[in-house]
Amino acid sequence: MNLKNPISLAITMGGAHNSKAWYIPDVRIEPVMNERFMGSVEKGGFVNFRNITFNPHGNGTHTECVGHVAKQVYSVLDCFENYFFSAQLISVTPEKTNGDNIITKACLLPFAEKIKGKEALIIRTLPNTEQKLNIDYSNTNPTYFSLDAMQLIVDLNITHLLVDVPSVDREEDGGALAAHKLFWDYPNIPFSKKTITELIFVPNQVVDGEYLLNLQLAPFVNDATPSNPVIYKI
């Protein structure tokens, strides 16, 4: 394995790329400006000193924990004792049903033997276009997971699930979040250390197979936080 060859699966925020969902505005990066201070060198300040406004679920790649659906406040940071995991990258074509694109058990079953024994599962949906780097998923009914697909992921003992869609559940599901809850077995298990990472992008030149995953997180105490999943070919 070559540690000098990292592959980031994160969609960057505030620069050339901008992937968002849930009717959230774009990430805003603005200089602090008040009577005492000008946070822009271009505008005459001494330093650049900018505020960043974003929503971890709505803007860019993020990792979330059961705190997303639980009554209690849980921090995704408490899910981690280490940040390196064995991972399997697979590419799947969702099934089309009544206008929905769904990742079903049948989509995942052919990969079950390869997934077995891995801590993390990385799913790239096909077609995989660079549109995913600059898309507003709001009101587009994006690809989601069927419950039998999620049950298979649970049965395969996956601890960290990474997907290139904005949610494992349907955009409009009446608030059920059934696939999220199935993954975390919530509320049967109040706090699970399993995580879901959404809105990743797996570049096309990255081939399916086994990787070492380094899941890097911004240290916000919240149910979700921006993340940078970095993989290394084994």
Place of tokens 């003992």: 157
From CA 197, how far away is CA 225, in angstroms rounded? 9
Question: 195 forms bridges with which residues in the sheet?
Answer: 160
Which residue stretch of 15-23, 52-60, 154-162, 169-177 sits at the interface with Zn ion (rule: CB under 5 A)?
52-60
Q: Are 49 and 57 in contact (CB under 8 A)?
A: no
Q: Which amino acid is present at 147?
A: L
From CA 90, how far away is CA 125, in angstroms rounded? 9
Output 111 or 200, the one with its CB closest to Zn ion. 200
Output 12 or 86, the one with its CB closest to Zn ion. 12
Find the shortest distance in angstroms from Cβ 124 to Zn ion: 18
Output 97 or 139, the one with its CB closest to Zn ion. 139
End-to-end CA distance of the chain: 5
Which residue stretch of 50-58, 72-80, 118-126, 140-148 sits at the interface with Zn ion (rule: CB under 5 A)?
50-58
Helical H segments across the chain, by residue range: 105-108, 112-115, 147-155, 178-184
The alpha carbon dihedral of 144, 146, 150, 153 has a sign of negative
Residue 64 binds to Zn ion (criterion: CB under 5 A): yes
Find the shortest distance in angstroms from Cβ 217 to Zn ion: 14
93 contacts: CB under 8 Å, gap ≥ 6: 107, 125, 126
Output 67 or 94, the one with its CB closest to Zn ion. 67
Output 57 or 124, the one with its CB closest to Zn ion. 57
Contact flags string 169-198 toward Zn ion, x per CB under 5 A: -----------------------------x
DSSP symbols for 202-234 = --TTSPSEEEEEEEEE----SSEEEEEEEEEE-
Is it true that the peptide bond before 187 is cis, omega within 30 degrees of 0?
Answer: yes
Which residue stretch of 5-13, 40-48, 64-72, 177-185 sits at the interface with Zn ion (rule: CB under 5 A)?
64-72
Find the shortest distance in angstroms from Cβ 56 to Zn ion: 7
Residue number, nearest CB to Zn ion: 57
Output 111 or 170, the one with its CB closest to Zn ion. 170
The number of residues that bind Zn ion (CB under 5 A) is 3
Which residue stretch of 27-35, 57-65, 91-99, 114-122 sits at the interface with Zn ion (rule: CB under 5 A)?
57-65
The residues of the shown chain that bind Zn ion, judged by CB under 5 A, are 57, 64, 198
